[in-house]
Amino acid sequence: MKGREQAGRGVLGAVALGLLLTLTGCASFRRFAAGEVALTSSWESPTGLYRIEYAPEDERELTRLVRAVDAALPRLERWGTLREPLTLRVFPDHESLEAAVRQEGLGWLRAWGRYDEVFIQAPSTWGLAGASPAQLNELLLHELTHSLMYQLSADRLGWSRKRIPLWFREGMASYTAEQTYRWGSLEELARYLERHPEADPLRKPEGHYRDESNLVYGVAHHAFTFLVRRYGEEAVRGVMREMKGGAAFPEAFEAAIGLSPDAFVRDFTLYVKWRGFRGGRSLPRPPVDARPLGGPPAASGESHPP
């Protein structure tokens, strides 16, 4: 069954790609960021309706973007389907992306996901060689997970008022995109907390976000993974259903999980500090010069400032 499903998705992807390339020739014009003229092309997939908006000089990016979305679908489907069309807006360089999302000095930023749109820097401009297929696939899956989560949790007017903490939204995106390899290990996190007992990167990520992005993203990934392993993916879907029903995140989390977000954060923090991931064994304290966590994540994306 799984093989047939994947084969079916491949056919759909090929049809979608062909449709996109056909539409490119007769794409409609509309206004783009900074007053530029842009083209739009649309296609439908098993997870929803997608549209790409791009400047004429970025037309060469279309084929790889469609393929990256198609590659993301099997893992995105685990959570559900988009309720509203989603637009990928392609920006020609990093500066125009930062201007569009009103951020400065985030040299690692490549994309920004919202309720029904993903802003993305043209993949060919990611460094000297541009983005590899694997990098692009991973980043788009991360950002599409953000948009899907927001749509499953709220409507267009209410998604930004649900008080979803950074650890949950970034953790869910990183977990879905299988980005464990990007972040420090649980042991490194335990050592970081030993060296910085005043730090609270889950509940107070603001002080770490700009200069220690790897710490913020890594602890979010590990916390969300801990949540799924302890309570299951259905519990996560339950949190989103509760929010869709009108609850804010704290109430939705407690209704679906059975404890408050603060209680969960305490549980996870103790799990890390006591090294529950090592079967309860006590490890020696790190040397003074142990490598700290932190630093910008390469080619990662972010959905909202903390």
Could you tell me what percent of the chain has a pLDDT over 90?
A: 64
pLDDT for the residue numbered 36 = 56
pLDDT for the residue numbered 48 = 82
Report the DSSP pairing between strands 117-121 and 86-91. parallel
Instruction: State yes or no: pLDDT of 164 exceeds 70.
Output: yes
Confidence of residue 174 (pLDDT cuts 50, 70, 90): very high
Q: Are 264 and 227 in contact (CB under 8 A)?
A: yes
Query: Higher confidence at residue 39 or residue 37?
Result: 39
C-alpha 182/C-alpha 225 separation (Å) is 14
Per-range mean pLDDT, top range of 6-15, 46-55, 225-234: 225-234
pLDDT for the residue numbered 107 = 87
The domains of the chain, with CATH numbers, are 2-153 (3.40.30), 162-278 (no CATH)
pLDDT for the residue numbered 207 = 66
Q: Give per-residue pLDDT as tens, 125-161.
A: 999 999 999 999 999 999 999 999 999 999 999 999 9
Could you tell me what percent of the chain has a pLDDT over 70?
A: 77
Instruction: State yes or no: pLDDT of 291 exceeds 70.
Output: no
pLDDT for the residue numbered 104 = 87
Q: Are 190 and 269 in contact (CB under 8 A)?
A: no
pLDDT for the residue numbered 24 = 33
pLDDT for the residue numbered 45 = 79
Helix 233-244 × helix 133-153 angle, to 10°: 50
Distance of CA 146 to the CA centre of its chain: 5
Give the full edge-to-edge strand order of the sheet including 48-54.
Answer: 28-31, 37-45, 48-54, 86-91, 117-121, 111-113
Across the range 74-89, mean pLDDT stands at 93
Give the angle 72-17-81 at the CA atoms, nearest 5°: 40
pLDDT for the residue numbered 18 = 40
pLDDT for the residue numbered 289 = 35
Average pLDDT for the chain: 82
C-alpha 146/C-alpha 149 separation (Å) is 5
Instruction: State yes or no: pLDDT of 95 exceeds 90.
Output: yes
Q: Are 108 and 211 in contact (CB under 8 A)?
A: no
Burial of 232 (0-12, 13-18, 19+ CB in 10 A): exposed
Confidence of residue 209 (pLDDT cuts 50, 70, 90): low
Confidence of residue 238 (pLDDT cuts 50, 70, 90): very high
Instruction: State yes or no: pLDDT of 286 exceeds 70.
Output: no
pLDDT for the residue numbered 214 = 85
C-alpha 149/C-alpha 160 separation (Å) is 12
Instruction: State yes or no: pLDDT of 53 exceeds 60.
Output: yes
pLDDT for the residue numbered 46 = 76
Instruction: State yes or no: pLDDT of 29 exceeds 80.
Output: no
For residue 120, what are its two tokens?
């993305």
pLDDT for the residue numbered 132 = 95
Predicted model pTM: 0.80
Q: Give per-residue pLDDT as tens, 239-257.
A: 999 999 999 999 999 999 9
Q: Give per-residue pLDDT as tens, 256-283.
A: 999 999 999 999 999 999 999 986 444 3
Q: Closest Cα to residue 38, out of 89, 2, 96, 1?
A: 89
Mapped onto helix, strand or coil, the DSSP state of residue 150 is helix
b vs e for 258-292, b when ≥16 Cβ sit within 10 Å of the residue's Cβ?
eeebeebbebbbebbeeebbeeeeeeeebeeeeeb
